[in-house]
Amino acid sequence: MELYTLRLGAPLSWVPVTPPLPDADPDNAPTGIALPVLAQDGEEAIFIWTMDQLVAHSEDGPHLCRPLPLPLQTGISEKPGDATPETGKIVLPVGSYLFCQERLIDITSTGQTLEWFFRETWWTGAKCKGSVFLRLIREDGKTAVQVIMESAKEG
């Protein structure tokens, strides 16, 4: 996996949804909620937390809190004709972001990708701010997992 910089030139948006409470292990909640949504290529799901919800710090760096808490916000890809007003959408605004991407391997890989992102930004000294976006995208018959956070680097 690599840590990349994304210079987002147009905002991304999703329709907010209320996730069902997970029946089983809450650590798997994001993937379990998203799987029915991600049935077709081009479909997306977004999950948003604060860094404080997800990260425990130790002298050997950040670690993902387990079990994962329920996200503050959850959304799915917009469909043509969705009547959600612009103000009701979840939006990732234009800006500079740090992100990583990996293929969804199994139900636990979302947590592994989140932890890799937090540890890699700590290890490299990359600075992030704001919310943590976990984006699941169905493409080429597979699901990509992205962790996205706003870059705190000036300029």
pLDDT confidence bin for 24, thresholds 50/70/90: very low
Query: Does residue 127 come out as left (phi exceeding 0), alpha (psi in the -120 to 50 range) or beta?
Result: beta
What confidence tens digit (pLDDT) does each residue in 52-105 have?
999 999 999 999 998 888 889 988 887 655 555 565 789 999 999 999 999 988
Q: Which residue has the tokens 């700590």?
A: 122
Which residues span the domain enclosing 131? 4-151
The count of structural domains within the chain is 1
Q: Are the C-beta atoms of 48 and 71 separated by less than 8 Å?
A: yes
pLDDT reported for residue 53: 94
- Here the CATH number for the domain that contains residue 17 is 3.20.80
pTM of the model: 0.85
d(CA 133, CA 49): 7
What confidence tens digit (pLDDT) does each residue in 127-147 have?
999 999 999 998 888 889 999
**Average confidence (pLDDT) over 26-36:** 53
Closest CA to 107 of 20, 38, 10, 27: 27
Q: Which position has the higher pLDDT, 119 or 139?
A: 119
pLDDT reported for residue 77: 85
